[in-house]
Structure 1
Amino acid sequence: MCEVFISANPESYESRTRSVRLHGVITSIRLENLHWEVLEEIGARDGMGVTQLIEKLYDELVQARGAVGNFASFLRVSALRYMALQARQRIPTDLGVPIRSLEAGRVLQDLPPSWHKPLERLSL
């Protein structure tokens, strides 16, 4: 069982810090390389670079939840959710299908309660 996990390329779990500008403010975000790769893939699906994706996620999180909290952890969970939703066939593995083209209600339908908290304030 453990070989499935321990055979991972050590570079994938090394951390890398990137500086990003969120509305004129430069901040540093430290994530493992694999998380950066997944975020790059998510952004590319919708024609965005990783910095553009991060800014969009930040803006929508603030609008929906009012507070950010630990943003680096949010980005890690976002990457994990993306991969898990692909594994559950909720998000197509075809990278040519933009995430914005998916109906969120269908993607999130019947997920375990710990995976989803409905948004009350979201008006995007």
Structure 2
Amino acid sequence: MKFWGRGFYTDPVARTPGTPGAPAMCEIFIRANPHSYDTLARSLRLHGVATSVRLECLFWEVLEEIGQRDGLTVNQLISKLYDELFERRGEVANFASFLRVCCLRYLMLQQDGRIPADTRVSISSLDAATVLDGLPPNMADAPPPRRSRGPLLEALIK
């Protein structure tokens, strides 16, 4: 199943309210362990500045798995993500939401086979262009613009 594709399998009987024996549609979601949506704030340092990030416990668990794949603690992973986001965007707005999206993207890309389910394979060993190749435009932004070398350097290269 692809999260961003079309053609999810649907069972019209299971979706029909009042059908005897049909499971409640939301039971899949409402039976989540309540601990998974408890929030937890973690303190960390980003560029020497003490701060905290509050996320639901399930997101912390996913971040832990992502970090472990590359031998990073959660705080090290978060710091790395912050630095790379700042380098790419020049600002970091709504960082907690960004981290939640990172978790969802990780799981979606894993489900789609773009990131191996084998957690012994490090994320840093993957080729980002290959992982992101062919994603719909709403799932990945364009690569950063290539920096101009300037007219003098361009003339020297020719």
TM-score computed with the length of structure 2 as normaliser: 0.75
The 3-state SS of whatever aligns with 1:117 is coil
The 3-state SS of whatever aligns with 1:67 is coil
Aligned counterparts of 1:118 and 1:86: Cα–Cα separation in 2: 21
Aligned counterparts of 1:90 and 1:113: Cα–Cα separation in 2: 16
Runs of 4+ in structure 1 off by over 3 angstroms are none
Post-superposition shift, 1:23?
Answer: 1.6
Post-superposition shift, 1:119?
Answer: 3.1
Unaligned 5+ runs, structure 2:
1-24, 148-158
Equivalences for 1:29-44 in 2 at 5 Å? 29-44=53-68
The higher radius of gyration belongs to 2
Identity of aligned residues (%): 60
Equivalences for 1:1-124 in 2 at 5 Å? 1-120=25-144
Unaligned 5+ runs, structure 1:
none
CA RMSD of superposed structures (Å) = 1.4
Aligned counterparts of 1:119 and 1:22: Cα–Cα separation in 2: 25
Aligned counterparts of 2:145 and 2:79: Cα–Cα separation in 1: 19
The 3-state SS of whatever aligns with 1:97 is coil
Q: Give the partner amino acid of 1:45.
A: R
The count of residues paired between Structure 1 and Structure 2 equals 123
The 3-state SS of whatever aligns with 1:31 is strand
Structure with more contact order per residue of length (Cα contacts < 8 Å, sep ≥ 6): 1
Post-superposition shift, 1:43?
Answer: 0.4
Note closer, same or farther for the CA distance 1:14–1:122 as it changes in structure 2 (3 Å cut): farther
